[in-house]
A and B are shown apart, each in its own frame.
Chain A
């Protein structure tokens, strides 16, 4: 028995040694390595197709893909980099960008953009969004623009004719829908990822989509912003949002919406795919985010883009690959399949011309009363602010543990301090 045990240990160890020495990991160091972080099986298929075409167009170039699952992508990517496994091209969400740029890991793409012919139809701010201190570090592959999806059946049941156009109507609609037993008006996203709703309601009530003044003081402590927080707190405390929406994440808000627990959902267009699978086409529609007292509204525009690593040994090829993925026809397929607002202006009409389901996004992109709100993505602590501070202190406010004013003050202090550090260049 003891001998068998020792033999077993030796066998295992020799297997381990064999794998350490001879396993080639399938990854050829001569190939380009692209890492996707917002992985889904279907999208990986689209990406692979486009990479195959790239390989066909560029004989000699091969591309490997590593697909990380979204939940742990940030942790894993940072570990890979610390361990010396540096990808060439990376899918870069807006709120990670500053972290990687301040760590010196992202390649400046400005020169490359200048030398590459992009279609004139490209949304003019595309490069600006991915820039920090006037250097382009990422190029968005599509926009996660927010609009309001609503449940037509529940609206009808509550005798509501039109989706809310103004903030006042938003509140009234939420209240009215909530009169139906077991149903609430608004699907609040109180857990991680929900910060941008607070930002929307604060900026829209305040009438400006600027986060800071020239000195770097946050606008979150302006009276309008405080009013915004008060409004959402009232909606929650009056029961116009489900009690447990306090810690809902993305999945819960969407499932809450399609199970008919709540009637209005603040969402990005990629949620539509999931909705179509589970609801009848005629039962839901979208409207732009309600207008504030100033007659304007500032729906959040998020993006994920393609970036190239500074330490990449094959930057030229990597840039080429990025250009390939953003080419108009590739991009159209990409935006369509993942349900994004495209970066080419003309395409939005094609993609969202689907009756009232796409109406919210189409209006937001075309009507001047809607302007985009871009998070202060240049601040390197914005990710932690979004996902920790705002979530926990927002919950405390909704529960009545702190007042909207105290909360606004706390957030403004954090952001002002961060912005001032950035302005003095000590980021």
Chain B
């Protein structure tokens, strides 16, 4: 069992990274060699022109900044709101709970392409179409249902007795929540945060449909600039994609601490 682990991990790494490696290869291949060398593991000449073009000549630094603001804000907002909602769903029995859960689930089942136009109208109404604020609101709304389910199930997993004990000891509910329940649910909060962050980071359809101004564009929408009717600028697109993965890696490297903390939090209890 212990030994079988390593080939498995290597297998996963290869499956995950090979396509990324291939994109990286494209990003450093000069345009002229892109098709002329056949299938080779590494081009005979490499260049960082595409990275230069993306980082210096284009508006990508702005796109990345917008993406970061949108993703981070959305992730934090959703996690906070969903923690509250998830807590309510987990700790209380109240009238209309089943109906509420059903509606939350229902929102996930209707294809987004069908409701983009109505959302566009809502955003026009509140004067937030074509701005990152509007995007933050829409992403928050669309990530909330699932985040609520998630937080609910994490709260379900955290034993209620401890919290009740704290409340008997004189804590208010909020104090008990802050001292006992939230530390126990940190892995769940970390997972939710990471999940929503990446979802917002990589979202294209809304960004493309709602944003027209260059100054408000996020990076996935900006990447569409490389796809024109008559050609795709593969080199620059691959370079932008590789660059976009770096902040995500860093974010996950940071988030994993939260997820790991679950172990220590679990020990606290005993």
Residues on A facing B (Cβ under 8 Å): 1-2, 5-6, 8-9, 12, 15-16, 19-21, 23, 25-26, 38-41, 66, 68-72, 75-76, 79, 82-85, 250-251, 254-255, 258-259, 270-271, 273-274, 277-278
Closest B residue to A270 using CB positions: B230
* B133 in contact with A72 (CB, 8 Å): no
Checking B121, B130, B177, B227 against A82 with a beta-carbon cut-off of 8 angstroms, the contacting residue is B121
| Residues of chain A within 8 A of B83, CB atoms compared | 5
Cα A16 to Cα B133 with chains together (Å) = 5
Cα A296 to Cα B35 with chains together (Å) = 36
Closest B residue to A82 using CB positions: B117
Cα A39 to Cα B209 with chains together (Å) = 15
| Residues of chain A within 8 A of B232, CB atoms compared | 251
Within 8 A of A (CB), among B12-47: 31-32, 34-36
Number of A-B contacts (CB under 8 A): 104
| Residues of chain A within 8 A of B147, CB atoms compared | none
* B208 in contact with A69 (CB, 8 Å): yes
* A2 in contact with B133 (CB, 8 Å): no
Cα A210 to Cα B218 with chains together (Å) = 47
A20, A21, A277 — most chain B CB neighbours (10 Å): A20
* B209 in contact with A2 (CB, 8 Å): no
| Residues of chain B within 8 A of A72, CB atoms compared | 208-209, 224
* A255 in contact with B35 (CB, 8 Å): yes
The binding surface of chain B is classed by DSSP as: helix
The stretch of B74-82, B148-156, B240-248 in contact with A is B74-82
* B120 in contact with A83 (CB, 8 Å): yes
The contact sample of 28 A-B pairs, CB cut-off 8 A, is: A2-B174, A5-B83, A12-B76, A12-B136, A20-B126, A20-B127, A20-B131, A20-B133, A25-B213, A39-B228, A41-B225, A68-B212, A69-B227, A72-B208, A72-B209, A76-B209, A79-B117, A79-B209, A82-B117, A83-B117, A85-B129, A251-B231, A259-B35, A259-B36, A273-B230, A274-B231, A278-B32, A278-B35
Cα A75 to Cα B126 with chains together (Å) = 22
Whether B160 is near chain A, meaning CB under 8 Å from some CB there, is no
Cα A5 to Cα B129 with chains together (Å) = 27
Whether B215 is near chain A, meaning CB under 8 Å from some CB there, is yes
Cα A331 to Cα B124 with chains together (Å) = 36
Given A5-B80, A19-B128, A79-B120, A271-B230 contact (CB < 8 Å): yes
Return the 7 tightest CB-CB contacts between A and B, nearest first.
Answer: A259-B35, A40-B228, A19-B133, A70-B229, A16-B133, A69-B224, A5-B80
| Residues of chain B within 8 A of A20, CB atoms compared | 126-128, 131, 133
C-beta contact mask, B194-223 vs A, less than 8 Å → 1, else 0? 000000000000001100110100000000
Whether B71 is near chain A, meaning CB under 8 Å from some CB there, is no
Cα A15 to Cα B74 with chains together (Å) = 13
Checking A9, A68, A69, A273 against B81 with a beta-carbon cut-off of 8 angstroms, the contacting residue is A9
Number of residues from B at the complex interface, CB < 8 A: 43
Shortest Cβ gap from A340 to chain B (Å)? 11
Closest A residue to B182 using CB positions: A1
| Residues of chain A within 8 A of B117, CB atoms compared | 79, 82-83
| Residues of chain B within 8 A of A85, CB atoms compared | 124, 129
Shortest Cβ gap from B186 to chain A (Å)? 11
* A2 in contact with B178 (CB, 8 Å): yes
Cα A186 to Cα B76 with chains together (Å) = 54
| Residues of chain A within 8 A of B209, CB atoms compared | 72, 75-76, 79
Closest A residue to B221 using CB positions: A69
Whether B73 is near chain A, meaning CB under 8 Å from some CB there, is yes
* B121 in contact with A19 (CB, 8 Å): no
Closest A residue to B80 using CB positions: A5
| Residues of chain A within 8 A of B212, CB atoms compared | 66, 68
Closest A residue to B213 using CB positions: A26
* B229 in contact with A38 (CB, 8 Å): yes
Whether B137 is near chain A, meaning CB under 8 Å from some CB there, is yes
| Residues of chain A within 8 A of B137, CB atoms compared | 16
| Residues of chain A within 8 A of B76, CB atoms compared | 8, 12
| Residues of chain A within 8 A of B215, CB atoms compared | 26
Cα A9 to Cα B76 with chains together (Å) = 8
Cα A75 to Cα B232 with chains together (Å) = 20
| Residues of chain A within 8 A of B208, CB atoms compared | 69, 72, 76
Checking B77, B132, B178 against A9 with a beta-carbon cut-off of 8 angstroms, the contacting residue is B77
* B124 in contact with A84 (CB, 8 Å): yes
Shortest Cβ gap from A66 to chain B (Å)? 5
Shortest Cβ gap from A140 to chain B (Å)? 16
Closest A residue to B211 using CB positions: A76
| Residues of chain A within 8 A of B128, CB atoms compared | 16, 19-20
Shortest Cβ gap from B143 to chain A (Å)? 14
Shortest Cβ gap from B78 to chain A (Å)? 11
| Residues of chain B within 8 A of A68, CB atoms compared | 212
Within 8 A of A (CB), among B104-157: 116-117, 120-121, 124, 126-133, 136-137
| Residues of chain A within 8 A of B177, CB atoms compared | 2
A25, A271, A273 — most chain B CB neighbours (10 Å): A25
* A12 in contact with B77 (CB, 8 Å): yes
| Residues of chain B within 8 A of A21, CB atoms compared | 127
Shortest Cβ gap from A343 to chain B (Å)? 19
| Residues of chain B within 8 A of A6, CB atoms compared | 80
| Residues of chain A within 8 A of B73, CB atoms compared | 12
* B35 in contact with A258 (CB, 8 Å): yes
Shortest Cβ gap from A44 to chain B (Å)? 10
Cα A187 to Cα B129 with chains together (Å) = 43
Closest B residue to A16 using CB positions: B133
Checking B81, B121, B131, B229 against A250 with a beta-carbon cut-off of 8 angstroms, the contacting residue is B229
| Residues of chain B within 8 A of A273, CB atoms compared | 230
Given A16-B133, A79-B209, A70-B228 contact (CB < 8 Å): yes
